[in-house]
Structure 1
């Protein structure tokens, strides 16, 4: 399974539809390092380093091994059931961004779960002292010389206390040494932005509205000016530098959208500029966005329309797929029989496998996600960024014309420490293949905005069953779509596996999702704006210990077949009129809903996420004659423009409304 790690971003690169960030005029130099005795040179009588707190049976200051000076922190553990930490409290600024790091040396370290081993982490708690969260880079295992482990995170504004920790992940045994632990402030530019419209690669297509919308994100923590004094200015220029449109605004809050109204544009390149100014007219930040009006004859094989829908060979397409390890004909035939239409194999297919997928009517999301030097699964011959570029461009050119290709899979949860290369890979894909979008999947749901220049389609992978409530699926989908104000399509990754496939030790609390949970989670994502679902994963269905493949496959195909039968409805963009649906009673809402109109009928999708139950109160745009339940059963009685119906926990109902 994909390892969940974190990292940092320090630079941005220019690409089609990307930005150039100018220096932050309002930033100050980083303050003094907040870690005390990060080199472990000072010690106490109990053998531990000064300023650090942990059990002496697992941790000790070691003067015989050090990376730089004379000492290090040694971790030694022979009991996999023992889980102990060595921690220091930090004085950090809530809401700020930090890079934390340590050099780690290991001797026969054995880890438990994926990402285990000798590691560091940063955690935070609220004013009430309760743990709020943390950031956890993957640990080191085996025997390795000094290796720098890095994490970058923006701590919550609600946090009140912070810690840095050296430790062995759960079930870790062996010996490790830590040295040169550091925490430093990372200053983001005060202005970041992306093009909200046009929503795909900065392409101004003939059917797009005559406007360019730029969404600005302000980071004012390091700017001395008050927010009421700030001003945003935007301009659209042609290739000669002539200004075609201007807009300005006084931003309110941390995000603001500027609209540049444009007249008929000839094919060619354009540039949108957005600037942030303080009250004295001083420039605090500037972004440049590259735009292009394609030739009218240009029609990509696969593209994203202005509504976020996937368009394949000119027709709307709702991606319904699964993750695979590698593909074969037997499995693809089975997948197609379950109403799936695409596959994401980690094992990058050869031409024979791509031909097979095409023959069976299956689209392929082609993975190049491992071609990053230093990443966990990177081929050994890729050692530099130049090696990456050759490998990525060769693969793009080899398969970009294959009719089975749906999209390129560029990133599987890589941290921000890879950001410059993530942006470069997106740039290469845009340059070498105008006919297919890119897709990335992240678990870093609170960091999505930082990745905006690395993809065409975004996805996140909430896997709650066995750990959290099923409502996590809808929450993540809402946040994923909302981060980009609906201006980037989202192919979400729902859970169908048992976490026990990836964890060791006690698995009694872990299980596979039920049919009701899988159905609710999938529909939660769709109601919150997902435009595709790629389930994780096919190979897990063969090793889930608590339910047979046939049983779980049967449950899953019921879910997918239902969605497939409504794909034309879900992809419809006919105006619905004003529809409202509310959970009764109110409070913490368990309700997700969306509406579509197709062929003169109004469809309402209502989903219970399991956090409660009750009635849904619906108000329609006009009086209705009858409300039917899709799939059979009597619909609720309608009174004029409204009706009510009860939704039990995890229940999904699709209402088909006949209007008068």
Structure 2
């Protein structure tokens, strides 16, 4: 059986360039303009020019040549886009000697407001080194209504040098898949035991903005349950959909034990299937005793008690640094350095939980150990760490992906299934910067996080926006452990000029971002990063650490309320999008958490 049957297949349906008008003028650079540039393309002619000696198709391409790391220039073209639409961008790119820390030669699409203020963009990963013609592709978010100006750019990422060519650039209208679905019950690993739940619930959301000819009332949702390798065991259909958000209830309590594929299809009146998605169910007799797992309320349960992860990213663990860290409200850490037994014991002795990183164990990826060259090597490396630490009392979970691309979906989902089979005792955690693609990654994690780092160049409200997007992508049915910024981007810049443009976030900014995440539904906070605040040259560790500890103490002080599942009173709110808020109830106390995610003061009414 095709293993992709086990994946949630939530994708964007991209209209083919042949079927949609290419919005790029002179996309193959065949027409010559002034100063050696292609017609209708901009940029400095000292770096970019039309090249008739190299082409993927036709007679010309766009060439970039630059050896000065301080030069950062784009080759732009203004385009006309329609707010409310999604766009697919693509180009063929060839490189020669492209070097630098970033991803290389690529394209991007950006949009600005009436005053040319930046709003957003789409930035596909590029290529570097020596490569033949490679297709670079990306899909934009839905263009916001306030966007008035738009630009498509060919460019090399900042801090990179070398030679690159572009050809056959395309920008076309795309269409979102008309259906997205998430298995919301059960919310953890698709597990259904004899004691429940009796019904699985698949939350289906129809996205018909790009399908004017589809009316929900005329559509149907059909579902089929198939045991692994077998024929249909049960099926059903819901017709006359009353809305674009439907909870599809599917009886599962009487199913024989085993693994099942749950197929959900959106069907037209003619019987034509418009879209299909798949979910994995495991029908088991009972849950074994588990050290760490996710409950039905998206709380992580550790040794039988609810736990709110409050931690930081680390590199390697040393006894001296851990002693400083342990004298704080933080209760966990995520060390990139893959600690050995002595360090794990030290964490346990300090009552600290560890999110153990095996995220680099994918051959041919940037940080993969050189000893791992095949999938068999990957499996052996994962198994070694599992055998070493799955019984260790400090282990909170496995960190299995740090921003790896969607092109690796098959491998990432296979890694998730491997961890489910190896270790029913601990969940997995994944962190992405690809906030608009979280839904596609659902088959690859138990717990998700995204990492908004806006300071100093973007709005501080990015923390709330990304948390909200992440929560909505999983439809509130997976834990969200967010990664807010406490570091300065200067630590990652190469030139003094670039470093001088950066600064660490202020106390108020850090506090706002962390509470924004919580107010928007985060079930855990893991700040980035301990090692960055220790090496900051602008604000010393001794200055930053008390500020971070102070915020952590605020959060730790209300963790019992954050973990509470008691019914909350109804609260009405009159405020704009600048406000992030939530309500919690614990005993006789009602907790209202409200955060202004804007830099300007505002008034809100909550009653």
Conservation of the 8 A alpha-carbon contact between 2:106 and 2:154: yes
C-alpha distance in 1 between matches for 2:373 and 2:176: 29
Q: Which of 494, 498, 507 in structure 1 is aligned with 2:488?
A: 498
Aligned to 2:43: 54
C-alpha distance in 2 between matches for 1:67 and 1:283: 38
CA 471–123 in structure 1, closer or farther in 2 if over 3 Å, else same? closer
Q: Tell me how far 1:394 sits from its aligned partner.
A: 4.5
Q: Which of 13, 17, 37 in structure 1 is aligned with 2:4?
A: 13
Aligned to 2:108: 121
For residues 210-289 of structure 1, the aligned pairs below 5 Å read 210-218=198-206, 220=208, 221=210, 225-235=214-224, 246=236, 248-251=238-241, 255-261=245-251, 263=253, 267-289=257-279
Secondary structure at the residue paired with 1:101?
A: strand
Conservation of the 8 A alpha-carbon contact between 1:528 and 1:594: no
C-alpha distance in 1 between matches for 2:486 and 2:308: 19
For residues 640-651 of structure 1, the aligned pairs below 5 Å read none
Q: Which of 351, 359, 371 in structure 1 is aligned with 2:349?
A: 359
**Range 253-262 or range 417-426, more displaced:** 253-262
Aligned to 2:554: 562
Conservation of the 8 A alpha-carbon contact between 2:219 and 2:267: yes
User: Which runs of 5 or more structure 1 residues have no equivalent in the other structure?
Assistant: 1-10, 620-660
Secondary structure at the residue paired with 2:4?
A: coil
**Range 485-494 or range 345-354, more displaced:** 345-354
- The answer to whether structure 1 residue 84 and structure 2 residue 73 are counterparts is yes
Q: Tell me how far 1:195 sits from its aligned partner.
A: 0.5
Conservation of the 8 A alpha-carbon contact between 2:9 and 2:277: yes
**Range 178-187 or range 446-455, more displaced:** 178-187
Q: Tell me how far 1:312 sits from its aligned partner.
A: 1.4
Conservation of the 8 A alpha-carbon contact between 1:106 and 1:118: no
Q: Which of 108, 113, 137 in structure 2 is aligned with 1:151?
A: 137
Cα deviation 1:593-617 (Å, max 9, x = unaligned) = 322223x433333334344446665
C-alpha distance in 2 between matches for 1:153 and 1:12: 26
Cα deviation 1:73-111 (Å, max 9, x = unaligned) = 32233555544322346688863452523323234x565
Q: Which of 606, 612, 618 in structure 1 is aligned with 2:594?
A: 606
Conservation of the 8 A alpha-carbon contact between 2:95 and 2:132: yes
- The answer to whether structure 1 residue 329 and structure 2 residue 316 are counterparts is no
Conservation of the 8 A alpha-carbon contact between 1:589 and 1:612: no
- The answer to whether structure 1 residue 572 and structure 2 residue 564 are counterparts is yes
Conservation of the 8 A alpha-carbon contact between 2:106 and 2:126: yes
Secondary structure at the residue paired with 1:542?
A: helix
Q: Tell me how far 1:173 sits from its aligned partner.
A: 4.5
CA 596–58 in structure 1, closer or farther in 2 if over 3 Å, else same? same
**Range 369-378 or range 230-239, more displaced:** 230-239
For residues 181-192 of structure 1, the aligned pairs below 5 Å read 181=169, 190-192=178-180
Aligned to 1:519: 511
Aligned to 2:453: 463
Conservation of the 8 A alpha-carbon contact between 1:136 and 1:151: no
Q: Which of 195, 199, 202 in structure 1 is aligned with 2:190?
A: 202
- The answer to whether structure 1 residue 510 and structure 2 residue 502 are counterparts is yes
Conservation of the 8 A alpha-carbon contact between 1:392 and 1:425: no
Number of positions where the alignment pairs a residue of Structure 1 with one of Structure 2:
598
The normalised TM-score by structure 2 is 0.86
Aligned to 1:628: none
C-alpha distance in 2 between matches for 1:317 and 1:542: 27
CA 244–444 in structure 1, closer or farther in 2 if over 3 Å, else same? same
Secondary structure at the residue paired with 1:321?
A: strand
Q: Which of 64, 81, 98 in structure 2 is aligned with 1:75?
A: 64
Conservation of the 8 A alpha-carbon contact between 2:222 and 2:235: no
Q: Tell me how far 1:422 sits from its aligned partner.
A: 2.0
Q: Tell me how far 1:311 sits from its aligned partner.
A: 0.8
For residues 23-42 of structure 1, the aligned pairs below 5 Å read 31=19, 34=22, 40=29
Q: Tell me how far 1:322 sits from its aligned partner.
A: 0.7
Conservation of the 8 A alpha-carbon contact between 2:190 and 2:281: yes
Conservation of the 8 A alpha-carbon contact between 1:123 and 1:133: yes
Q: Tell me how far 1:437 sits from its aligned partner.
A: 1.1
Conservation of the 8 A alpha-carbon contact between 2:195 and 2:286: no
For residues 354-393 of structure 1, the aligned pairs below 5 Å read 354-385=344-375, 387-393=377-383
Q: Tell me how far 1:207 sits from its aligned partner.
A: 6.5
CA 177–199 in structure 1, closer or farther in 2 if over 3 Å, else same? same
Conservation of the 8 A alpha-carbon contact between 1:477 and 1:529: yes
CA 137–386 in structure 1, closer or farther in 2 if over 3 Å, else same? farther
CA 219–30 in structure 1, closer or farther in 2 if over 3 Å, else same? farther
Secondary structure at the residue paired with 1:500?
A: helix
User: Which runs of 5 or more structure 2 residues have no equivalent in the other structure?
Assistant: none
- The answer to whether structure 1 residue 479 and structure 2 residue 469 are counterparts is yes
Q: Tell me how far 1:308 sits from its aligned partner.
A: 0.2
C-alpha distance in 2 between matches for 1:218 and 1:394: 43
C-alpha distance in 2 between matches for 1:461 and 1:177: 32
Cα deviation 1:386-435 (Å, max 9, x = unaligned) = 55445445544443333322111122122322222222222222222222
Q: Which of 169, 178, 181 in structure 2 is aligned with 1:193?
A: 181
For residues 138-177 of structure 1, the aligned pairs below 5 Å read 138-139=125-126, 144-146=130-132, 148=134, 150-158=136-144, 163-177=151-165
**Range 359-368 or range 169-178, more displaced:** 169-178
Conservation of the 8 A alpha-carbon contact between 1:247 and 1:259: no
User: What is the root-mean-square deviation of aligned Cα atoms in Å?
Assistant: 3.7
C-alpha distance in 1 between matches for 2:378 and 2:89: 25
Conservation of the 8 A alpha-carbon contact between 1:27 and 1:223: no
Q: Tell me how far 1:337 sits from its aligned partner.
A: 1.5
Conservation of the 8 A alpha-carbon contact between 2:15 and 2:173: no
C-alpha distance in 2 between matches for 1:387 and 1:186: 39
Q: Tell me how far 1:233 sits from its aligned partner.
A: 2.4
C-alpha distance in 1 between matches for 2:489 and 2:402: 18
Q: Tell me how far 1:385 sits from its aligned partner.
A: 4.7
